[in-house]
Amino acid sequence: MAEIKDRAKHVWAVDKSTLEGVLDGKMNPVLREAWQQAVAILETAGDEEFYQHWLAGTGELMAASWEVIWEWLHRSPGTLGIVTPVALVRWARCSALVARYAPAEAVGLIRSGRRILAQIPPDMQQSLLEDCAILARINWPAATVLYASLPMLAQWPDRGAVKRWVQAGLALAGQDVEMGRAYFAAHSLWQKASFSDLFVPWVTWGQELARITPVVAQAYFSSTPVLAGALGEQFSASFLAEWADWARLLAEQDVETAIAFLNSSPGVLGSGTGVALKEWVECGRELLIRNQKVARSFFEMTHRALQQATWPEVRAWVERAARECGENAEKLAEMMALATRESMALLAGLRQGITLAEEERSLVTYGAALFERPVVLKPSNILPVEITGGDRLFATTDGRRVYLPENVNVFPVREKNQALLRLMLVHEMAHLAEGTYRLTAAELAEAARRTGLPEAQRGEVSCLEEWLDLFPDYALMRTVFELVEDARVDHLTRVRYPGLVREYHEFGRLAPVSFPSGTREAGLASLARLSLGQPAPEDLAIEPGLLLQQKILANRSATVKDSLEVAAAWYRFLADKPAAGGEARYPQALYRGRLRPDLVAVNAEVEAEFTPVKSRQRAESRLRVRPGPPGTATAYRTGKFYGALKSLLQGFSQEEYTAYRNVYYYDEWDVTVAGYKPDWCRVGEVVLQPSTRRFVEQTLRDYYGLISTLKRYFAMLRPDRFRRYRRQEEGEQEDIDAIVEAWAERAVGAPATGFMIRRDKRLRDVTVAFLLDLSGSTNQVLDNGKTILDIEKEAVIIMAEALEVIGDRYALYGFNGEGRQKVNFYIVKEFNEPYGQQVQQKFGGMVSDGLTRLGAAIRHATNKLQSVEAAVKLLLILSDGRPYDVDYCAAKGNSDLRSWLSADYTLYAREDCRMALREARMKCITPFCITVDRKGKEYLEEIFGPGGYVVIDDVTMLPEKLPLIYKKLTV
């Protein structure tokens, strides 16, 4: 036995020596140091078997890049006791295979190894990692997806199912890279659907679609998990067969139409609008007969149309548009894409419902007057589906904002829909006014003691969400608290505003439901009836029902602490009762939204931490809650989810704290459909606040000589106040010279006319708007230590000094942004504003940030110029490069990725700018661009036309050249 061990140690020593030689050959001291540290850790640990396999695994990676090897040496020793020795080699082999094609992905695969492999039972590690290695040989992107899903696969009770899942995926991954990746990414499907019932038909249909083309199968695999989550119990084998068969029929006619159908299915069929699959597809197939592009646009935009109208109204809109467009397929495609004002007006004219955008102004005024506090509204569909549950009538608050449905079409009468939306606002505002979320840590601790929570279970809670999470069944406790607190705020609101009683009664009626006696659902139904003041006799016979009556419904001074106590009593009453099936259900009033204390808690973090910054770091929430088991309604409650939610709320705060004076919406030209996208860009005016005049003072000192010369020069351009015209037939005074000359000419018989002098008032009637590009790229530092923005500001300051002499009216603006919803338009000086100390101090507040959505900025500057009366109107744009924004491009096609990538991605932006300039010229405004981009000639002539721009190669010459350009344009 000792001899065998000695022989093994000799082999390990040879392996170690060989690896050290390979590392020495790479001549990387960082690798050498990492190697020595890893070897020291493993030799100290003394696990000879693990050490042997680790040497073998390290040998697998020796051909990889040094970054991959370093990550392995740094991370793998830490898996001792977590990963079995044989699985360790499989892990290294999989990483080495991925590293051949994507070293960065291999680094991520190694870095996450400890976290992922710790969740896999030791007896499954080898087989699962072997599957990953096999897959990496034929499709490394799919292998990385499979690797990330291993913890979930390890939880499957049927290990045979795991094997069947992987084997089917290997066959598909060998056919097409993206299809294989989509297949393995669909592993979450089996958290929502029965593997035993659906796996075989699901794979069979995927293979059937792959025979037509892999891109359709890719869309099928990608959309299935989302669709299953949206449909819930309705996602059955029969539904899957019908849905997939429709996809096959569409793919046989047009591949891109089938992809649009598959990708849009979750949003349409899971929208809760009652759209029948057969009706939807047949409507699309009728359009496909006319034109493929029309059908694709219809499928892609159906979910958007359903946010504004019911399915019968959408169907009527399609039929009406088809009649109006006749044989014009291009126009009909634009109509189906909701890309024109005409199509949106047609849909709006057919719908019975209302939209939040239409009612927002009146709702804000109504809510502010009723509750004497500002109202900030947002559409609820902007929140993650984990929060809304996909409910189209979802409403809630985050403690600052109220989220209401984007579209309400419950009733055929518009006025009733408006009344319902108003009451939904009142209900959410009442929660804010009555202090639902205003609970301190001390009050929550006291409530935990009063409600009988065990000492060990209380913990330290900082918010309502963490308090509710103390109860074993969080979902039940949140539901119970929601109903009790709804009862409290509704009762207090009815007392305070008796005029709302009729609306509460009308929209608070519950549909009759029947649950088995003694079940949790029956108890929740009793609580729902009691909370709305509609109790049945048996509801008042139970002890928690009497407690609700005494402490909440008969108490005009009830507080949220009373609600916590009553909710705890109801929780104890219901916790041991059996559920009738699945998640507990109960009848709900139409106007009542949902309490989301987790949303409020995350927003409270944002409010406490928020400071306006140029860019946001990745957010991490401090909320301490337990995620539910996989497949349950609370499985989403992870740190990753709440971090993403915090980022979303930070964006809202950033937008709201940016003090917009006014907000405007402008159309944007879409060259791909040759039409305007209506109200596509949101432009917010920001009045820069005075900060410091130091920049202006320094500029005046640095350019003292140039400014003095320009002032004298521009003074000569200023016209005299009056001009005298001699020898006129009419005028204000006699022209003595003309009279004398007429006497002399009379002697020779020459006729004489014109004996008056006329004086005409002359004014230079020029107005100019300077539009400065304030995007992040203007922060580039030049050789002289100044930034491009510094040079732009210097040029404008020099021009302002000169224009004060000549008397031309002028305005100073800047712009930047990030996306179509956030185009910032900065006001430095308006046309009628004097160029005084306050304006000069604003230059200190101009900073570089964001991107360049030039078309929207031009349209707004044009709008400003149009409001001024002048004979000559000039728009001078100072920029450092081509227009660019995150979504300032054509939408990517569904399938032809290669052609999209090879296309001219700036064409959309250039054409929109060109159209915005054309609109300006039609309004008698002369636009002119001055750029410091040396490649500007490549694109500016196409946008501004010949003679509409100038490229300044040396940016430092801008202050000297700008006045000369201005003179040329205006004199």
Give residue-wise pLDDT tens across range 799-812.
898 888 888 899 99
Query: What pTM value is reported for the model?
Result: 0.63
Which tops the pLDDT comparison, 731 or 381? 381
Q: Which residue has the higher pLDDT, 163 or 958?
A: 163
In the predicted structure, residue 614 carries a pLDDT above the cut 50: no
In order of 163, 166, 193, 780, 900, the CA distances from 203 in angstroms are 14, 12, 14, 54, 30
Per-residue pLDDT at 334 = 84
Average pLDDT for residues 666-684, to the nearest whole number?
A: 83
pLDDT digits 0-9 by tens, 844-872:
888 888 888 999 999 999 999 999 988 88
pLDDT band at 319 (very low <50, low <70, confident <90, very high): very high
Q: Give 610-629 as a 3 state SS string.
A: CCCCCCCCCCCCCCCCCCCC
Q: Is the pLDDT of residue 900 over 60?
A: no
689 compared with 203, residue with greater pLDDT: 203
Most confident region among 182-186, 628-632, 897-901 by mean pLDDT: 182-186
Average pLDDT over residues 152-171: 88
pLDDT at residue number 503: 93
Top mean-pLDDT range of 267-276, 382-391, 532-541, 879-888:
382-391
How confident is the model at residue 205, as a pLDDT? 94
8-state DSSP, 460: -
Q: What is the mean pLDDT of residues 186-208?
A: 88
- Using CA atoms, how far apart are residues 844 and 699, in angstroms rounded to an integer? 12
- Across 667-679, b (16+ Cβ under 10 Å) vs e yields bbbbeebebbbbe
Q: For residue 423, give both structure tokens.
A: 């009451």
How many other β-carbons are positioned within 10 Å of the β-carbon of residue 583? 14
pLDDT at 504: 93
6 or 609: whose pLDDT is higher?
A: 609
Highest mean pLDDT range out of 297-311, 370-384, 479-493, 677-691? Answer: 479-493
- Range with lowest mean pLDDT among 613-622, 749-758, 926-935: 613-622
pLDDT category at 894 given cuts 50, 70, 90 is: very low
Q: How far is 182 from 307, CA to CA, in rounded Å?
A: 28
Q: Residue 307's closest CA among 379, 412, 222?
A: 379
Q: What is the pLDDT of residues 811-841, one digit of tens each?
A: 999 999 888 888 999 999 999 999 988 999 9
Residue 898: band (very low, low, confident or very high) from pLDDT cuts 50, 70, 90: very low
Angle at 627 between CA 634 and CA 384, to 5 degrees: 50
Give me the percent of the chain exceeding a pLDDT of 90: 34
Range with the lowest mean pLDDT among 41-45, 120-124, 534-538, 593-597? 534-538
Percent pLDDT > 70 in the chain is: 89
CA distance 386 to 404: 16
588-592, 800-804, 893-897: range with lowest mean pLDDT: 893-897
Report pLDDT for 208. 93
Candidate from 61-70, 701-710, 736-745, 832-841 with smallest mean pLDDT: 736-745
Q: What is the mean pLDDT of residues 614-620?
A: 50
Q: Contact 85/78 with Cβ under 8 angstroms?
A: no
Q: Amino acid letter at 690? A: P
Q: Is 951 exposed, middle or buried (0-12, 13-18, 19+ CB in 10 A)?
A: middle
The answer to whether the CB of 511 falls within 8 A of the CB of 490 is no
Across the chain, what does the average pLDDT equal?
Answer: 84
pLDDT in tens, 365-408: 999 999 988 899 999 988 988 898 878 889 999 999 999 998 88
Residue from 306, 315, 308, 319 nearest 270 by CA? 306
**pLDDT range class, residue 717, cuts 50, 70, 90:** low
Residues 953-969: what's their mean pLDDT?
Answer: 78
Q: How many CA atoms lie within 13 A of 100 on its CB side?
A: 14
Of residues 8 and 457, more confidently modeled: 457
Residues 279-297: tens digit of each pLDDT: 999 999 999 998 999 999 9
Q: How is residue 360 annotated by DSSP? A: H
Could you give the CA distance from residue 787 to residue 144 in angstroms, rounded to a whole number? 43
pLDDT for res 19? 64
Task: Go through 74-95 and write b for each residue having 16 or more CB atoms within 10 A of its CB, e for each that does not.
Answer: ebbbebbebbbbbbbbbbbbbb
The amino acid at residue 564 is: L
For the CA atoms of 916, 919, 921, 922, the dihedral, rounded to the nearest 10 degrees, stands at 170
The whole-number pLDDT of residue 644 equals 87
pLDDT at 304: 82
pLDDT at 777 over 70: yes
Counts of helices then strands in the chain (DSSP H, E): 44, 16
Tokens of 43: 């030799």
Residue 60's pLDDT is what? 87
pLDDT for res 783: 79
Q: Note whether 769 and 875 are within 8 A (CB).
A: yes
What 8-state DSSP symbol labels residue 80? Answer: B
Among 96-105, 473-482, 938-947, which stretch is predicted with the lowest mean pLDDT? 938-947
pLDDT of residue 584: 56
Whether 450 and 534 have beta carbons less than 8 Å apart is answered as no
- Mean pLDDT, range 431-444, rounded to an integer: 90
Rounded mean pLDDT of 438-450?
86
The tens digit of pLDDT for each residue in 473-484 reads 888 999 999 999
What is the mean predicted confidence (pLDDT) over 220-230? 88
| pLDDT at position 920 over 80 | yes
